[in-house]
Structure formats: C-alpha cells, structure tokens
Amino acid sequence: MTPLEALSQKQKRIQSLESIAGLLGWDEQTLLPQDSADQRQDQNATMAAIIHEAKTDPEIGKLLEQIEALPHGPDDTGIQAVLRDARIEYDRATKLPASYVEQHARLCSEAYHAWAAARKNNDFSAFAPYLKRHLELAKEGADYLGWGDRPYDLQIDFHDPGMDAQTIGTLFSGLKKELVPIVQQIIEAPTQARTDIFKGFPIPEQKTFLEEVTASLGFNYKRGRIDISLHPFCSGNGADTRMTTRFDEDNPLDSLFSSIHETGHGLYEQGLPLESLHNALGKAAGMGAHESQSRLWENQVCRSRSFWNHYEPKFRSAFPKQLEGISSDELYLAINSVSKNPIRVDSDEVTYNLHIVIRFEIEKKLFSGELRVEDLPDYWNSQYKELLGIAPRNDAEGVLQDVHWSGGAFGYFPSYCLGNMLAAQLWYTVAEEHSDLEQDFEKGDFSRLLSWLRKNVHAHGARYHLMELSNKATGKELSHTSLIRYLKERYLPLYT
C-alpha cells in the first residue's frame, strides 16, 4: 500500500465517523424526543472525541510527511489539494486538546436547545450565557491554533478558506453602496406586490408540490430525503443528503423556496465526486461556493418568469380555490415581492444582502469586544432601523431568529452574500454559453443548467477555494457588480 493509499484509508474512516455525527445532528433537529436532549449531548461529545482521536492519529502526520516529500508536478492539482486540506485539518486537530473538542460539541447541543426555547419564549436573556460561552470558546480555539490576534478571521476561514474580514468588508462596502438606493427605489415605487393572496394553503398539497419541484431540479431522492425542522437546513453528503423545511398555511412560499434553497445545497453535494467524499476532491469549495448553488437555484432559476410559465398551471391546479381571481402578473409579482421584512429567511433577494451586512458587522464587533452580548438585542434593532428602516417587534423576530450562533457558527453569515455574488457571476456566464437556457425552464427541463454546474463547479470539489473558483468558473474576480446588474434587470422592470 502506498502512503497516499494509506492516507486515504484513514481519511475514509474519519469521513464515516463524521457522517455518523452528522446523522445525530440531523436527528436532533428533526426527530429527537424533547426530553432526550441530555443523552444527545453525551452522544455528540463522545462522537466528537472519537473523531478528534482519529484526526490526530500520529500515523497521519507521518504519511503526510512522506507524501509531501515526493515530487509533484504543477499539473497535479488534485493531489496538491488533497495534501493541502489534509495538512490543515491534521495540524489544526493536533493543536486542539480533546477536552476542548468535547466541550465544544457538548455546548453546541446544549445551546441549540436553549436557543429553541429562548426563541419560542421570546427571551434572549435565556440564550445569552450560551452565546457568551461560544464566543469564549471561539477565542480560546483561536489561541490554540495560532490565530489569537485574528479570531474572527479564523471563523471566516473555517467556512471560506482564504477569506478574511478585510476582504469581505471591501466586497460588502461596494455592494452596500449600490444596493441601498435600489432598495429605496423599489420600496417607493407606485407598483407594489400584494401581500394578502397567500392564505389557507393546505400543508399536504404544499409538500406534494415542493417535492415535485425539487425532484425536477435534479435532486436524487434515492440518495436523500426532506423532513421538517425549526430552521431549514441541508446536511450529509452525496451518498446520503438530508434536507429540511417548515410549513405555514399562510405562507406557502416559505416552504417552497426554503426547500429549493436546500435543494441547491443538496444538488451540490450529490454532484461532488462520490468516490472522493473522504478528501478535498469530494468536498465543497467552501460555504460561499455552497451558497452560490442554493441561491442560484432559489433565485435566478426559480423566481424567473420562465420557471413560473411552466409551474404556474401546476401551482394553480394544486391550489385552485386559494388562487382564484389572482392574475398571473399579480402572482409573479408576489413571488418576487420586495419589502422591509425583519426576518432574513423570509426576506426577498434584493434586501437579503443587507441582512447579511448587518450580521457581519455585528460579528466583527462581538469578536473585537466593541459590542457586549447583553447589548446585542438593542444594537441589532438599531441596525435594522438604520439600514432597512424597520425594527423587529421582539427578540424572536430579531436577534434570536437564526440558528447559527447556537452552533458556534460565527463567520458563516458572510457566505450567503458571497454566494449571491458568485451565483450572479455563474448565471451570466452560463447564459452567455447557452442563450436559450430559459427555454428549457419553460419546459420544466433543468438538466442543461445542472450539467453545466456539475462540470464547472461540482466536479472540482475543493480543488479551488472561493476566489480561485470564481476565476476558474466565470473568468472573473469575485465582485458585487454582477449581482447588482442581476437585481436591476430582474426587479426594476417589475417596480415602476
């Protein structure tokens, strides 16, 4: 057995263990009995310790040294990517004490249930101690890993390798400058979407419709499934992809578009090379790349006129009474409604990026110490008032709306906006190559777009990280300009 084969064998074991831990996490948010959380905390901590032990196996370090000593040509990008990510993972794992890893896993489980209860009871003070502890552990982990002077940059790097707060800040600054007046122009336009047409949509019919849509996009239900959770998410890998959504009889678009969003993630996972799930060639390029896939399918594709030319008759057939008297133009405008909504996941794609800018600025201040956890709700509300012109009515609608911080997922939020930027660039790139692509959508055929994404994004795995992937797939540096162009072209003609 060669050193590379021996390394792959150990990586496959780690991947298998991580997939087991992932199923525990999926179950915790979908099916776990309410009073069984304490046992799940122990299970999560145990799995974290086992995975940490596997990742810090000294034999991995020896194998890496042997492989790194071998000559590799400039064209060996696959091996280089495998070694790059394996080295980073091994070095980081060996610098973190097992006790720290277990403590973090246990806190994630405890904090999730505390967040769910706090959100239900509209009580941020009940969640605040867990958020404080997560911040403390994040900074402690940064010290262990040699990032003590840049703890927030480390969090960003976890999700989007190679990115940092300064780079993101520059991208967001340009976006914010051009986006705010667009939002204002749309909000003040005489044409506005009706907000009263989505009432009384039965959940069984919603479920049937969204499953048909997601399957038509290409999601393989023989390798995946969709369930219900408090906060929609996608987990697992291409071999077993788990998605979730949530339902509201008076908001059918929430379940539909959250499902489409998670389907974008699922399609990415199912498009990664199945034989390489254990190394960089079978993993995503980062969360910005991941979000580009979910946002492209959710917005550029499924909010398009061509998509609804095909699916509107099916939607009306599923909900004839509810849509009676609603014209096609009224329905399409409602699907692309733009409003000042305090909830990120319910917001439209025009204002969505401002939600992310707010979270990015807040996270920076939390890590720098400029903002105390206790002051977070008031500061959150003030930022929403300033940037979006709306203040949340309560903490459940405000600072408690997102699940991310309960899992210590700092630095994740910027990925959504980075993904929107990449999604727009990918959209215009594929549209230049296939100018008649939207004719496919009118027939309910999305295979040509999916094939293009498979070739230009999915097949690379993590061979390239976000900025390099942008250049490789679109021929351009990642920028906000394509996103601004897309938003203008899609929305300004609707709001005149």
Q: Which residues are catalytic?
A: 262
Q: Count Cα atoms within 13 angstroms, Cβ side, for 217.
A: 32
What is the rounded CA–CA span in Å between residue 106 and residue 124?
20
For 10, 150, 456, 463, the CA distances from 72, given in Å and listed in that order, are: 22, 33, 24, 15
Q: Which helix (H) or strand (E) segment is 22 a member of?
A: helix 3-30
Alpha-carbon distance of 188 to 338, in angstroms, equals 11
Q: Which of 457, 438, 362, 454 is nearest to 401 (CA)?
A: 362
Instruction: Specify the pairing of strand 234-237 against strand 224-228.
Output: unpaired
Give backbone dihedrals phi and psi of 283, rounded to 5 degrees, phi first.
Answer: -115, 160
Q: In 3D, which of 391, 356, 350 has the Cα closest to residue 495?
A: 350
The neighbouring-strand residues paired with 226 are 243
C-beta separation of 484 from 420 below 8 A: no
Measured distance CA(271)–CA(297) in Å, rounded: 14
β-pair partners for 245: 228
Query: What backbone phi and psi angles, to 5 degrees, belong to 375?
Result: -90, 0
Which H helix or E strand runs over 429?
helix 413-433
Q: Which secondary structure element, helix H or strand E, spans residue 243, and what is its range? A: strand 240-245
Nearest to 467 by CA among 150, 156, 76, 89: 156
Burial (CB count <10 Å: 0-12, 13-18, 19+), residue 295: buried
**How many whole angstroms from its chain centre is CA 231?**
12
Alpha helix positions (H), 145-283: 151-159, 165-187, 203-217, 252-271
Residue that the structure tokens 């990008």 belong to: 77
Let me know: does 18 contact 52? Beta carbons within 8 Å. Answer: no
Cα–Cα nearest to 160, from 279, 269, 288? 288
